[in-house]
Amino acid sequence: MPEPTTVPKELSVAIVGGGMGGLAAAVALGRAGVKVDLFEQAPKFEEVGAGINLGPNTVRTLEQMGLGEEYNSVAETDDSGLFFQWWDGIKTRKSGETYTKYPRSAVHRARLLEVLHKSLPGSVTVHLGVRVHSVLNLEKEGKARILYTISRPPVPAPQLNGGAALDTPAPAAAAAELQEAHFDADVIIGADGIKSVLRSTLQPASPAEAGPTSAGKPATHRYTGTYCYRALVPMVKAEALDDPERGVEARKPKMVFGPGRHLTVFPIEKGTVLNIVAFVSDRSAPKDERMWEGPWLKKVDRETIQADFAGWDEYPKKLLGLISEKDQIQWALHEVLSPTTWRSGRITLLGDAAHASLPHNGSGASMAIEDAYVLSGLLAMPQCNRGNVEQFLQVYEDVRRPRGLRQQLHACETGEMFEYATEQWGNDTDAIAKEMLTRTDWIWDYNIENDMKDARELLAERKLI
């Protein structure tokens, strides 16, 4: 990754989507002197979400982006290296603990987004209240175009905490309810999430791994057969349920297993909040035939949540009983198996738009940040210019797509293992705990500079550097 610089580069980049991956790319590109325009459909940046685990690979990547100190100031770090305790949810029996050679790191998603917002440099212009509805390549002009609609801007205009500029529509445009517009750039990055408009516009094909009824068809999101409940609980309430005789402590990060169900529990916000995610799965249909009816978020009652975990031990059920009424929501989990290509001309995909996955490896945000690091590193290279940028985008895809797809398939198997749905591990919690000693090594022990090394080798082979 190039050192931050104020020297402008001729390349202009438009990023669609102001989530984790889009913001990370904007920060890295902007600091490298690239002119960036970031388009977000929300009228203001809102730091929302729940807790996420970040593996050491991601912490290293943030450090290499120059964001290590800012991240560490908001993250929950356990220097003991304890990753998780492993429990059986039916009989609440602990099967072991997994320690790593790195401090465990978790953070409220909102805090990490705040870090990225505040780090946007002056070479970035933010466009809020913009709904992108299509993109296209302008081959004759050597550009790519975003077509979008501007909503009425909020009054007063939102404030940005970093050095980025905020684009505000002119008064005449502001008076209109909607305004059609377009924007041209040398490169367009689709970081617009699992429901990506850019991916649906480009219509890349699904890979063979998507299954016999989906392979070769335009890649889209699909229901995984799993929904979850997400909640943030005050730690003092969770600690009231501690059971010293069985070694149950709320502050200890833990995974609780069961047939077709499991819980992920860990502290965030400097130990004041317990993050709880409870997963419920139905694997009776083939992976590419599972269906979810209605909205992806469905309000339910406390009785429904308890019924989902009928037959479980009282401790995890009491823990679920702490979920507040506003958080009694089923979140349908969807995925996008990495399309056979991410690129069309000067347009490419990043993060969930390219490879949204189940969260069982704790690596969704990690993969997006890794993508942003590699893509920005390539576009910021002095040899990358308007004439050859498509080839640099292809190198980004060639380097990143295999890792993204592998993580998706691996995360799915991890979830099956946690829920006793595999032949290899069955319901042997001791065997699962042993597997977790090394299962994520290929993700965690990775240094993103290896991707840049591979990218430079490809560039040299293709005589681009």
In terms of domains, do 118 and 89 share one?
no
**What's 100's domain CATH number?**
3.30.9
In terms of domains, do 295 and 245 share one?
yes
In terms of domains, do 72 and 206 share one?
yes
In terms of domains, do 42 and 189 share one?
yes
What is the side-by-side strand order in the sheet with 222-234?
A: 93-99, 82-88, 254-258, 261-268, 273-281, 222-234, 329-335, 297-299
With respect to residue 361, please indicate whether it lies within any of the assigned structural domains.
yes
| Whether the Cβ atoms of residue 367 and residue 351 lie closer than 8 Å to each other | yes
In terms of domains, do 117 and 146 share one?
yes
With respect to residue 432, please indicate whether it lies within any of the assigned structural domains.
no
In terms of domains, do 376 and 457 share one?
yes
**What's 187's domain CATH number?**
3.50.50.60
Residue at a domain's end among 335, 355, 379: 335
Q: Residue 404 carries which side chain, given as an amino acid letter?
A: G
Residue at a domain's end among 286, 320, 335: 335
With respect to residue 32, please indicate whether it lies within any of the assigned structural domains.
yes
In terms of domains, do 144 and 115 share one?
yes
Question: Tokens standing for 143?
Answer: 């550009």
Cβ atoms within 10 Å of 432's Cβ, excluding its own: 24
CA dihedral of residues 413, 418, 422, 427 (deg, nearest 10): 170
Cα distances (angstroms) measured from residue 95 to each of 54, 103, 429: 23, 21, 6
With respect to residue 123, please indicate whether it lies within any of the assigned structural domains.
yes
With respect to residue 425, please indicate whether it lies within any of the assigned structural domains.
no
Residue at a domain's end among 335, 359, 374: 335
In terms of domains, do 194 and 313 share one?
no
Count of domains observed in the chain:
2
In terms of domains, do 96 and 169 share one?
no
With respect to residue 431, please indicate whether it lies within any of the assigned structural domains.
no
In terms of domains, do 214 and 235 share one?
no
With respect to residue 27, please indicate whether it lies within any of the assigned structural domains.
yes
Report the predicted TM-score, pTM, of the whole model to 2 decimal places: 0.93
Q: What is the pLDDT along the chain (465 residues), one digit of tens a residue?
A: 444 444 557 899 999 999 999 999 999 999 999 999 999 998 887 766 688 888 899 999 999 999 999 999 999 888 888 889 999 999 888 888 888 788 778 899 989 999 999 999 999 999 998 999 999 999 999 999 999 998 765 556 666 767 788 886 655 555 556 778 999 999 999 999 999 999 999 999 999 999 999 999 999 999 999 999 999 999 999 999 999 888 899 999 999 999 999 999 999 998 999 999 999 999 999 999 999 999 999 999 999 999 999 999 999 999 999 999 999 999 999 999 999 999 999 999 999 999 999 999 999 999 999 999 999 999 999 999 999 999 999 999 999 999 999 999 999 999 999 999 999 999 999 999 899 989 999 999 999 999 999 999 999 999 999
Distance CA 258, CA 312 (A): 8
Q: Give the 3-state secondary structure of 316-364.
A: HHHHHCCCCHHHCEEEEEEECCCCCCCCECCEEECCHHHHCCCCCCCCH
In terms of domains, do 66 and 102 share one?
no
With respect to residue 1, please indicate whether it lies within any of the assigned structural domains.
no
In terms of domains, do 247 and 313 share one?
yes
**What single-letter DSSP state applies at residue 209?**
G
Q: Where in the sequence is the domain holding 283, given as residue range(s)?
A: 82-108+221-335
